[in-house]
Structure formats: C-alpha cells, structure tokens
C-alpha cells in the first residue's frame, strides 16, 4: 500500500507540474525588450578597436536615419536577391542587405524560419540596388548600395562555408549581426544564441529569453543575451519535423575583429573609420570545418556535461565506421566494444547481486529479531551493526553491486549526448525502415524491442527487497523507458537495444556458472 501511495504521489506531482508549465508557456506573453535611447542630435563617432563590448548601437541607427541625404529611396522590403553555390541557396533582403535564408542543398534543410529578420542588416536608410561580380578565383561578390554611399558586400565562395562580409558607411552605420526578437515567430524552432571565448561558451535558448521561466512564481526571471564577444552565433537548421525538433545540426557563426556591441535590440558591429569587416560561417556542426573556421567554435557542438568522454567515444565510433562503412553497423560494433570493455564491471555487479540473494534469509532473520522494537533508533543502529558484521565476516560489500553501475554512468551519459549531437548520424541510413539514425523509429519497433529486452534483463537479474516493489518496478521501468525512447533518435535506441541483448547473454552465463558459497554466521 505504501508503494502504491508513493507511485500515486509521483504521478500526481508530474501531472501538476506539467499543467503549470503548459499554462505558463501558453498564456505568459513575452515582454518586448526596452530599446536603448540616445539623443538624435548627437553626431556618431567611429568606434575604436578597444571600445567596450556593450556599446549600444541604437543611437548610431537613429543618427544615421536622421542624416540621410535627400533622394535616397530604399528598395521594396519584399525585394530579395538569391545566389546559388555548390552548398547553399542564399537569399538576401535587398533593402537591408540582411541574409534572410540559407538552404542546405544536400537535403533542402532551411537554416531559419520564414519570419527570421536576417543576419548582417546595415542600419540606416536602406539599400537601393544589388548586383554580383564573379572572380576567377571562384568567389562571387554580392554588393548592396545606395546613393548615400553605403555599401555592403558578401564575398561568397562557390564551394565552402565561410563568407567574408565587408561594409563601407560614411555615416558609421552599425551592422546588425543578430537581432533580438520580441516574439517566438522569428526564431521559432531554433535553439540557442551564444558567445564564445578562447576557453568557454555562454549560451541561452531563445525560449529562456522570450518566456517566463517555470519557477517565475518564485521570483525567477527571464534570461538575457549572453555577454558580448568577438565570436558569437546561433543554432540553425529547421528540420522537416520541426514541431518535435530537439537537436540543431547547423550553426550561423560570426567571427569579428573586435567585440560586438550589445543592447536590447541584439548584437551589432560598429564601423571603424567607416569600414566594417567580419566573417560568417554557415554550415554543419562538424569538428573539421569548425576547426578550419577557428578552434573555439568547435564548442558549439554540445557533447554534454561529460564532453571529454563523449568526444573520445565519438573518435572510437568514427574509427569503427571507417572499417564497416555504415553508421548503423558502426553503432552495433561500437556497442559490442563498449560492452566488452565494461564486461568485468558488469560481471562483478551481477555476482554481487547473486551474493546478496544468498544473504537474504540471514538478513531477514536479523530484521525479524529487531522487529519487536518498532521505531527505536538505538535498536535499529544495533541491527545495522549486526548486518554489517555479517557482511564483513563473509568478505562481502553490500554496495558492490552499485559501484560498477556508478562507474559506468559517465559513459552512458556521454554516449547519450554524443549520439544526439553529432552531425554525421544525421540522415545516415541503417537498413530496412531505418533511413535516418538521427530521427525516431517511424514504426516504434526498436523502442518496443528495447523495452522488452530491458524487461527480460531485469526479470533474469537477481534482486532482494520487497517483492511487491520489485514486481512494480519490473513493469514500470521498462514501460517508462519505452515511452521515453520512442521519441529518441533511432541510433541511440539501437545502441541500448544491442547493449541489453549482450547484457542478457552475460547475465545468463553468470547465473549458469555461479556457485553459491556458504554463509558464515
């Protein structure tokens, strides 16, 4: 009965917390960020290289708009300019010079939502014309100009992921690198915005900035844009099943000659003597191209808390892939390698649990001996002391079954984050109905098989304690894990399914060969 009440309490608490989260996310309206204000009569000044990173750019934009020469007429806001390279189809808004969309031609993935404001808009009166020039080197320069003398150029390679951005503005107009929206639509289905230093990354999700946190009723507040840096960017890549999107395999990254300005409207790069220069990376979160762009940007690949372990495991997985040539079979063989590497720990854990099963009659006898004393804490301490003396006399550590499990937890968690994060598994086929190892199993076959294998392994594994509780957990845990893995990437589910199959075989072999040892009382 007590176990049932605990279960009811846990389920009821989860339902109440879920309802509170749903209500707060549905009805909490985002508060528009306050815009930085500056007198419109001040003349803009060139930004020195060592200027503070938090310099607001709103004043520059206001002054630029006020000092536009007569006759400048920006292009229609709906007018766009498109360029196709070997990797992308890029689309700019002519009026602002902002890069509005990038389409990854390998599979048609769009980088940004339709309402995205764009990257690299030059603040001011707007541009009037756009044109391109192709060089013999294979670089195409797309240039936006107006009669005020403003010019913004994108130097796009025919094959490559790095775009050079150059600007010229006699009015010292700022370049809007990343805009901070006031609603979800411009960044819908996107993940984080981040800034990077040589040794760290500071990231905040758009949801954390646009919505009240779960514990807002306790005083928790929305987060702000990360501190400015000369390296910044955002997660990109809107998947076809964007509604259930969890991972972002692409990024848009800025590398700047100096720290960007940051205010309520977002990040800006202020000119230096009327000139702007920056580099923009558009592409997958893959170690090699990110390393070629600049080493600190490799941190945008989120390997999780055990990042060093995850990177080592991914290196091993890639070595296996080079041999078999298929990421699905690489995961299967990699699972066998991991299971063999932890074979001794798992054997020790199972033997410890079998040994505890041998102690169970003696343990129950000691507990029955002290049962008449009820809740007397002194007697309970004596009972625990007597149990520990029994274990010590027989050279058994009751925690021996838990220690191997704890030692393996970093490996499990690192594998979880690694298989969820790596770009190489995206759209990688296995066989049959598994055509994308990064997507969930469309027919939920592997999650069901994984749950069944987990049930079988738990059923075979010796256990001690309350029989009613064991029976409940025997069904509850596999059911919960099946439900959880149903929405997980197929590659991850295949890993755990194979892992459980090897575990079942190992448990069967250990139990068959195990010889109970007499207990010294």
Which carries the bigger pLDDT value, residue 86 or residue 463? 86
Question: How far, in Å, CA of 362 to CA of 366, rounded?
Answer: 6
**Which candidate, 84, 291, 266, places its Cα nearest to that of 187?**
266
Closest CA to 263 of 13, 501, 511, 35: 35
3 state DSSP class of 76: coil
Q: Would you list the DSSP string of 413-424?
A: HHHHHHHHH-GG
Kindly write down the DSSP assignment for every residue of 165-188, as one continuous string. Answer: EEEE-TT-PPEEEEE--SSSGGGT
Question: Burial, 133: exposed, middle or buried (Cβ in 10 Å; 0-12, 13-18, 19+)?
Answer: exposed
Neighbours of 356 (CB within 10 A): 19
C-alpha distances in Å from residue 360, one per residue of 348, 353, 470, 471: 18, 11, 15, 17
Which residue do the tokens 């798992």 mark? 346
Task: Give the tokens for residue 468.
Answer: 């009613």
The CA distance from 109 to 236, in Å, is 10
Of the candidates 330, 304, 323, which has an alpha carbon nearest to the alpha carbon of residue 425?
Answer: 330
What 3-state DSSP class applies to 374?
coil
Q: How many whole angstroms separate alpha carbon 50 and alpha carbon 48?
A: 6
- The number of C-alpha atoms within 13 Å of 320 and in the hemisphere containing its C-beta is 19
How far is Cα 498 from Cα 504, in angstroms, rounded to an integer? 10
Residue 110 host element (H or E): strand 109-110
The torsion defined by the Cα of 364, 370, 375 and 378, in degrees rounded to 10, comes to: -120
Q: What is the pLDDT of residues 466-502, one digit of tens each?
A: 667 777 778 888 899 899 889 888 998 999 999 999 9
Q: Does 71 score more than 70 pLDDT?
A: no
Placement of tokens 């395999």 in the chain = 249
Residue 201: pLDDT above 80?
A: yes
Give the Cβ contact number of residue 253 at 10 Å.
25
291-322, pLDDT tens digit by residue? 999 999 999 998 888 888 899 999 999 999 99
Given a cut of 50, whether residue 134 has pLDDT beyond it is yes
d(CA 435, CA 441): 9
Do residues 417 and 425 lie in contact, with contact meaning Cβ atoms separated by under 8 Å? no
> Are the CB atoms for 304 and 310 separated by under 8 Å?
yes
Question: Who wins on pLDDT, 187 or 55?
Answer: 187
Give the integer Cα–Cα distance in Å for 182 and 35.
11
Residue 48: what pLDDT?
A: 35
Report the distance separating Cα 247 and Cα 190, nearest Å: 9
Q: Is the pLDDT of residue 37 over 60?
A: no
Chain centre distance of CA 180: 20
Residue 251 and residue 326: Cα distance in Å, rounded?
25
Residue with tokens 């000139």: 275
Report the pLDDT value the prediction gives residue 360, as an integer from 0 to 100: 76
Which pLDDT band holds residue 20 (cuts at 50, 70, 90)? Answer: low
Residue 201: other Cβ atoms inside 10 A: 20
In whole numbers, what is the pLDDT of the chain averaged over residues?
A: 83
Q: What one-character DSSP code corresponds to residue 488? A: S
Q: What is the pLDDT of residue 170?
A: 83
Q: How confident is the model at residue 82 (pLDDT cuts 50, 70, 90)?
A: very high
What stretches of 236-342 show up as alpha helix (H) in DSSP? 287-293, 307-324, 327-341
């Amino acid at each position: 009965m007590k176990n049932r009440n605990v279960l009811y309490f846990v389920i009821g608490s989860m339902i109440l917390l879920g309802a509170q989260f749903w209500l707060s996310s549905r009805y909490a309206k985002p508060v528009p960020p306050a815009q930085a204000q500056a007198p419109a009569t001040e003349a803009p000044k060139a930004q020195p290289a060592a200027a503070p990173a938090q310099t607001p750019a709103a004043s520059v934009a206001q002054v630029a708009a006020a000092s536009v020469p007569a006759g400048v007429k920006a292009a229609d806001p709906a007018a766009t300019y498109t360029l196709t390279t070997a990797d992308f189809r890029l689309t700019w808004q002519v009026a602002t010079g902002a890069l509005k969309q990038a389409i990854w031609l390998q599979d048609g993935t769009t980088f940004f939502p339709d309402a995205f404001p764009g990257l690299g808009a030059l603040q001011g009166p707007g541009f009037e014309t756009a044109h391109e020039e192709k060089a013999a080197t294979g670089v195409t320069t797309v240039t936006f100009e107006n009669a005020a003398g403003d010019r913004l150029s994108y130097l796009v390679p025919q094959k490559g992921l790095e775009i050079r951005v150059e600007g010229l503005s006699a009015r010292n107009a700022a370049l809007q690198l990343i805009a901070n929206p006031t609603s979800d639509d411009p960044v819908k289905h996107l993940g984080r915005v981040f800034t990077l230093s040589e040794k760290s990354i500071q990231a905040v999700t758009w949801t954390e900035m646009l919505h009240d946190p779960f514990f807002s009723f306790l005083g928790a507040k929305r987060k702000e844009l990360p501190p400015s840096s000369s390296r910044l960017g955002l997660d990109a890549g809107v998947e076809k099943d964007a509604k259930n999107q969890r991972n972002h395999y692409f990024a848009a990254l800025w590398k700047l000659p100096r720290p960007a300005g940051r205010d309520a409207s977002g990040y800006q790069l202020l000119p230096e003597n009327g000139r702007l220069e920056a580099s923009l990376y558009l592409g997958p979160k893959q170690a090699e191209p990110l390393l070629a762009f600049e080493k600190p940007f490799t941190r945008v690949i989120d390997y999780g808390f055990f990042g060093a372990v995850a990177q080592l495991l991914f290196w091993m997985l890639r070595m296996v892939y080079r041999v078999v040539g298929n990421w699905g079979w690489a995961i299967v063989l990699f699972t066998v390698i991991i299971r063999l590497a932890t074979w001794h720990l798992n054997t020790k854990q199972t033997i410890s649990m079998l040994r505890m099963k041998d102690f169970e009659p003696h343990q129950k006898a000691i507990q029955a001996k002290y049962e008449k004393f009820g809740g007397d804490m002194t007697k309970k301490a004596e009972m625990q002391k007597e149990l520990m003396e029994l274990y010590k006399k027989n050279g058994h550590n009751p925690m021996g079954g838990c220690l191997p499990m704890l030692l393996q937890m970093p490996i499990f968690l690192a594998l979880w984050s690694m298989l969820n994060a790596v770009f190489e598994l995206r759209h990688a086929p296995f066989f049959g109905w598994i055509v994308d190892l990064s997507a969930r199993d469309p027919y939920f076959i592997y999650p069901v098989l994984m749950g069944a294998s987990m049930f079988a392994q738990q059923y075979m594994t010796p256990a001690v304690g309350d029989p009613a509780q064991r029976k409940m957990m025997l069904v509850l845990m596999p059911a919960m894990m099946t439900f959880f893995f149903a929405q997980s990437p197929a590659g991850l589910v295949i890993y755990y399914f194979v892992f459980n199959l090897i575990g079942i075989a190992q448990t069967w072999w250990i139990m068959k060969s195990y010889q109970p040892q007499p207990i010294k009382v």
